[in-house]
Amino acid sequence: MSEIWRLDGVDLDRLDRLASRIALTLKTGDVVTLSGPLGAGKTTLARTLVGHFDGGSEVPSPTFALIQRYDTPRLALSHCDFYRLDDGDLEELGLDDALVDGALLIEWPERAAGWLPKDRLDIVFDETREPKTRALVLTGHGSWAGRLLRLQAMAAFLEDTAFAEADALYLQGDASARGYARLVLPDRQAVLMNAPRQPDGPPIRDGKPYSALVHLAEDVKPFVAVAEALRTRGFSAPEILAFDLDRGFIVLEDFGDAVFKTAMARGMNQTELWSKAVDVLLALSEAPPDPALPVAGSSAYALPRFDAEAMLIEASLIVEWLWPAAHGRDLPEDVRAEFEALWRPHLEAAAKADPGWVLRDYHSPNLMYLPDRQGVQSIGLLDFQDALHGPLAYDLVSVLQDARLDVPEALERAELDRYCAARTARGGTFSSDDFRTLYATLGAQRNSKILGIFARLAKRDGKRDYLAHMPRVASYLERDLAHPALADLRDFYTRAFPTAEELPPKSL
Stretches where the chain sits below pLDDT 70 are 54-65, 87-88, 173-176, 199-200
Same domain, 7 and 70: yes
Number of domains in the chain: 3
Same domain, 200 and 240: yes
Q: Give domain status of residue 296, yes or no.
A: no
Same domain, 98 and 79: yes
Q: Give domain status of residue 297, yes or no.
A: no
For the entire predicted model, the pTM comes to: 0.92
Beta strands in 240-366 (DSSP E): 240-244, 249-253, 292-295, 298-302, 355-358
d(CA 140, CA 243): 26
* pLDDT for the residue 261: 96
CATH number at residue 78: 3.40.50.300
pLDDT tens, position by position, 436-469: 999 999 999 999 999 999 999 999 989 899 999 9
Name the amino acid, one letter, at 68: Q
* pLDDT for the residue 216: 87
Same domain, 263 and 247: no
Q: Are 483 and 437 in contact (CB under 8 A)?
A: yes
Which one of 114, 138, 159 terminates a domain? 159
Which one of 129, 159, 189 terminates a domain? 159
Q: Give domain status of residue 507, yes or no.
A: no
* pLDDT for the residue 67: 85
Same domain, 198 and 316: no
CATH number at residue 208: 3.30.200.20
Same domain, 308 and 381: yes
Same domain, 107 and 81: yes
d(CA 93, CA 75): 18
Burial, 238: exposed, middle or buried (Cβ in 10 Å; 0-12, 13-18, 19+)?
Answer: buried
- 484 DSSP 8-state letter: G
Same domain, 89 and 202: no
Q: Are 237 and 230 in contact (CB under 8 A)?
A: yes
Longest dimension (CA), the chain: 83
pLDDT tens, position by position, 2-36: 999 999 999 999 999 999 999 999 999 999 999 99
Same domain, 460 and 315: yes
Domain of residue 333, residue span: 255-288+304-502
* pLDDT for the residue 433: 97
Which one of 159, 187, 216 terminates a domain? 159
Q: Give domain status of residue 99, yes or no.
A: yes
Neighbours of 207 (CB within 10 A): 7
d(CA 1, CA 118): 10
**Cβ neighbours for 127, distance < 8 A, ≥ 6 positions apart:** 37, 40, 134, 135
Q: Give domain status of residue 294, yes or no.
A: no
* pLDDT for the residue 255: 96
Q: Give domain status of residue 508, yes or no.
A: no
